[in-house]
């Protein structure tokens, strides 16, 4: 399945946005595909935070397939699609750290509905899953973020439950689909491929690396050394790790290692 994303700029950072369709009749929203997030986060129609009002919101009430759920995926109130406030309901407060835009929280309830990527079936992929519908979004980082929401491509352990993880639900409900996705990011646009990758986009043969500490939920790999212009800046004697994060546009390093890396980059640029 191929989904096209366009590059957008905000706060001196670049993000890749693609369209998703939620519920029935379909509500189209623009989202960031984020490998460092484990949930699908969309602003709820009831949210009145400034960060919600400035973007397209998802309305469960306008979808004939939406159901208010708890973490397990069960309905909040048996026999009713929507909670009427008479019972207890699970909620999730999601801390969101974005190196380009800052840190903040999203307070959400959970709604079960279909999320579709790519073109109309059979060219697209639809997943029945639990969505985080935000009832409150902090100004930072969400007001600076382009688009309407986030589709997390992180591993299942990064989500509050397997029913709330896009990749987990996609693979669970599919047969004959490779447990892979591929991203091709260009200057103006990009592509997301589910169930494989686009060989024509490869600059070199693929090399596979194991995910370190998958229980943490990130696409994290071991780094054997950091080099700039052939010069080793950090030999990682104690071991280094890096997270592949498509939700940010900058290279992130620990504060203690930043001066050495910055000096090496400046020297490489100034070199004849």
Decide if 200 is inside a domain: no
Strand partners, 193: 2, 182
Structural domain total, the chain: 2
Does residue 140 surpass a pLDDT of 60? yes
**Single residue among 155, 173, 194 that ends a domain in this structure:** 194
Enter the DSSP assignment of 36.
Answer: T
**Single residue among 194, 227, 242 that ends a domain in this structure:** 194
Q: What is the CA radius of gyration of the chain?
A: 20
Whether 181 and 224 map to the same domain: the answer is: no
Residue 219: band (very low, low, confident or very high) from pLDDT cuts 50, 70, 90: very high
Query: What helix, strand, coil percent values describe the chain, rounded to 5?
Result: 15, 40, 45
Taking a C-beta distance cutoff of 8 angstroms, is the pair 166, 156 a contact? no
CA–CA separation, 269 and 272 (whole Å): 8
Other residues' Cβ atoms within 10 Å of the Cβ of residue 9: 10
Residue in this structure with the two tokens 């020297």, named with its chain if needed: 267
Q: How far is Cα of residue 41 from the mean position of the Cα atoms in its chain?
A: 8
pLDDT at 93: 95
Mean pLDDT computed over 40-44: 98
Whether 214 and 174 map to the same domain: the answer is: no
Whether 155 and 225 map to the same domain: the answer is: no
Q: What are the tens digits of pLDDT across the range 49-62?
A: 999 999 999 999 99
């Amino acid at each position: 399945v191929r989904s096209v994303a366009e590059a957008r700029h905000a706060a001196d950072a670049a993000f890749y946005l693609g369209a998703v369709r939620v519920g029935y009749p379909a509500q189209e929203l623009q989202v960031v595909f984020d490998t460092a997030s484990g949930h699908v986060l969309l602003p709820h129609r009831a949210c009145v935070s400034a960060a919600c009002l400035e973007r397209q919101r998802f309305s469960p009430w306008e979808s004939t397939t939406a159901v208010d759920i708890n973490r397990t995926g069960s309905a909040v109130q048996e026999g009713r699609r929507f909670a009427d406030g008479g019972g207890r309901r699970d909620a999730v407060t999601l801390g969101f750290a974005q190196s380009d835009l800052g840190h903040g929280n999203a307070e959400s309830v959970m709604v079960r509905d279909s999320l579709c990527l790519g073109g109309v079936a059979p060219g697209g992929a639809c997943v029945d899953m639990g969505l985080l519908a935000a009832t409150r979004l902090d100004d930072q980082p969400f007001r600076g973020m382009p688009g309407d929401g986030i589709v997390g491509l992180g591993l299942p352990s990064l989500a509050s439950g397997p029913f709330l993880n896009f990749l987990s639900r996609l693979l669970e409900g599919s047969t004959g689909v490779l447990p892979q996705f591929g991203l091709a990011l260009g200057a103006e646009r990009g592509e997301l491929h589910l169930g494989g990758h686009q060989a024509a986009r490869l600059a070199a043969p693929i090399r596979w690396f194991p995910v370190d500490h998958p229980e943490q939920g990130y696409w994290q790999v071991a780094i054997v050394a950091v080099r700039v212009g052939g010069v080793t800046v950090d030999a990682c004697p104690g071991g280094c790790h890096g997270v592949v994060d498509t939700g940010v546009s900058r290279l992130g390093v620990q504060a203690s290692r930043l001066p050495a890396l910055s000096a090496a980059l400046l020297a490489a640029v100034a070199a004849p």
